[in-house]
Amino acid sequence: MTGSLSAVLRAAPPARPRFTASVALAAGAVMSAIALMTVSGALISHAALRPPVLALTVAIVCVRALALSRAVLRYLERLVSHDLAFRSLAQLRVRFFRAVVPLVPGTRIARGDLLSRFVADVDRLQDLYLRALSPPIVAFVTSAAAVIAAGVILPVGGLVVAAALVLGGIGLPLLTGRLARTAGRRQAAAQATLAGEVVELAEGASELVAFGCGPERIRRLADADAQLAGLARRDAVAGAVASGLGAVLSGGAAVAVLLVAIPAVRGDRLDGILLAAVTLLAMAAFEAVQPLPAAAQSLSACAAAATRLEEVERMEPPVTAPAAPRPVPQEGALVAEGVSVRYDPDGPWVLRHVDLRLEPGARIALVGPSGVGKTTLADLLVRFRDPDEGRVTLGGVDLRELDPEDVRRAVRLSGQDAHVFATTLRENLRLARPDAGDSRLMEVLRDVGLDVWVDGLPDGLNTMLGEGGATVSGGQRQRIGVARALLADGRFLVLDEPTAHLDRAGAAAFLDDLDRIAGDRGVLVITHERELPGRFDRIVELA
Partner 1 sequence: MEPVARRLLRDTRAARRPLAVSGLVGAVGAVLVVAQAVLLARVIAHVFIDGQSLGDVRGDLVALAAVVAGRGVVAALFDAVGRFGALRVMSELRARLGQRMLVARPTGLPGERAGELTTAVVQGVDALETFFARYLPQVMLSALVPVAVLAWVLPHDLPAGLILAVTIPLVPLFMALVGLKARDDVRKRERTLALLGTHFLDVVRGLRTLRAFGREHAQDETLARVGDRYRRETLRTLRVAFLSAFVLELLAMLGTALVAATVGIQLAQGHLELTVGLAVLLLAPELYAPLRSMGQQHHASADGLAAAERIFEVLDAPRTVAVPEHPRVAPDPARSPVVLEGVRLTHPGRAEPVLDGADLTLEPGELVALVGHSGAGKSTLATLLLRLADPDEGAVRCGGVDLRDVDADAWRARTAWAPQRGRLFAGTLAENLRLGAPGATDAELEAALAAADALEIVAGLPDGLDTRMGDGGRALSAGQVQRLVVARALVRRAPLLVLDEPTASLDAPTAARVADGVLAAARGRTTLLITHDPALAARADRVVALRRGRVVETPRPTAAGMEAVAV
Name which of residues 262 to 281 contact partner 1 (CB under 8 A). 262-263, 265-266, 272-273, 275-276, 279-280
Question: By CB under 8 A, what part of segment 402-421 binds partner 1?
Answer: 405, 408-409, 412-415, 417-421
Instruction: Give me the residues paired with residue 391 across strands.
Output: 337
Told to check if 12 binds partner 1 by CB under 8 A, we report no
Indicate the DSSP class of residue 537: S
Stretch (H or E) spanning 155: helix 155-166
Q: How far apart are CA 408 and CA 222, in angstroms?
A: 52
Told to check if 445 binds partner 1 by CB under 8 A, we report no
CB of 346 to partner 1, least distance (A): 18
Q: Please, are residues 136 and 9 in contact by the beta-carbon 8 Å criterion? A: no
- Interaction mask 345-374, partner 1, x per CB under 8 A: ------------------------xxx---
Told to check if 450 binds partner 1 by CB under 8 A, we report no
Rank residues 185 and 396 by Cβ distance to partner 1 and give the closer one.
Answer: 185
CB of 442 to partner 1, least distance (A): 20
Instruction: Give me the residues paired with residue 351 across strands.
Output: 341
Told to check if 236 binds partner 1 by CB under 8 A, we report yes
Q: Which stretch binds partner 1 (CB under 8 A): 129-137, 161-169, 244-252, 327-335?
A: 244-252
If we measure between CA atoms, which residue out of 267, 511, 159, 164 comes closest to residue 367?
511
Q: How far apart are CA 425 and CA 430, in angstroms?
A: 9
In this structure, how many other beta carbons lie within 10 angstroms of the beta carbon of residue 194? 19
In this structure, how many other beta carbons lie within 10 angstroms of the beta carbon of residue 294? 14
Q: How far apart are CA 76 and CA 67, in angstroms?
A: 15
CB of 438 to partner 1, least distance (A): 19
CB of 11 to partner 1, least distance (A): 16
Told to check if 227 binds partner 1 by CB under 8 A, we report no
One residue of 110, 144, 328, 442 binding partner 1 per CB under 8 A: 110
One residue of 232, 328, 350, 442 binding partner 1 per CB under 8 A: 232
CA atoms 111, 112, 116, 122: torsion sign: positive
Rank residues 305 and 413 by Cβ distance to partner 1 and give the closer one.
Answer: 413
Question: By CB under 8 A, what part of segment 37-96 binds partner 1?
Answer: 37, 40-41, 43-48, 50-53, 55-56, 59-60, 63-64, 66-68, 70-72, 74-75, 78-79, 82-83, 86-87, 89-91, 93-94
Rank residues 132 and 507 by Cβ distance to partner 1 and give the closer one.
Answer: 507
Told to check if 118 binds partner 1 by CB under 8 A, we report yes
Q: Which stretch binds partner 1 (CB under 8 A): 109-117, 295-303, 342-350, 357-365?
A: 109-117
- Interaction mask 180-209, partner 1, x per CB under 8 A: -----------x--xxx-xxxxxxxxxxxx
Cβ neighbours of residue 351 under 8 Å, at least 6 residues apart? 339, 340, 341, 373, 376, 377, 380, 387
CB of 231 to partner 1, least distance (A): 10
Q: Where are the beta strands (DSSP E) in 134-235?
A: none
193 exposed, middle or buried (CB, 10 Å; 0-12, 13-18, 19+)? middle
Rank residues 417 and 455 by Cβ distance to partner 1 and give the closer one.
Answer: 417
Rank residues 4 and 105 by Cβ distance to partner 1 and give the closer one.
Answer: 105
One residue of 15, 33, 364, 380 binding partner 1 per CB under 8 A: 33
Told to check if 101 binds partner 1 by CB under 8 A, we report yes
Q: How far apart are CA 136 and CA 293, in angstroms?
A: 10
Question: How do the residues of the chain divide into helix, strand and coil, expressed in percent and rounded to 5?
Answer: 65, 10, 25
H helix count then E strand count, the chain: 18, 9
